[in-house]
Amino acid sequence: MKSIDTQNLDKLYYTIGEVAEMFEVSRSLLRYWENEFSFLTPRKNRKGDRLFTKENIQQIQIIYTLVKERGFTLEGAKQELRKEKGSLSEQVDLVDRLKSAYQRLKDLDDKLSS
């Protein structure tokens, strides 16, 4: 599962290139998803460059999971999102918190081993 730990993202905004790199997808795919999923609305600066927030990255993570990992078509993903609106974002949040807790435990174990 391609999971981005949004708890540890430290910037307010990320460029489309940075987000594409996080998910190992093309910029054009992110622009396409933006057109297909009405809730995905990154900010744009005066030049028209997209600026993604942590919330946008969580939204992309949900889309990525449905389409790339679970094999949904775009229409199928849209239906699943309508059906499971709250549950999917809760799952992403839970995975982020578990990863963060795991990292803290790993760091503590490393300190104790030293």
What is the residue extent of each domain of the chain? 6-113
Pairwise CA distance, residues 104 & 54, whole Å: 21
Dist CA 1 CA 91 (whole Å) = 12
| CATH placement of domain 6-113 | 1.10.1660.10
Q: What are phi and psi of 79, to 5 degrees?
A: -65, -45
- What residue ranges of the chain have pLDDT lower than 70? 1-3, 85-89, 91-92, 95
pLDDT (0 to 100) of residue 87: 65
How big is the chain by its Cα radius of gyration, in Å?
16
Which DSSP category does 24 fall into?
A: T
- The reported pLDDT for the residue numbered 92 is 65
Question: Can you give the pTM of this predicted structure?
Answer: 0.71
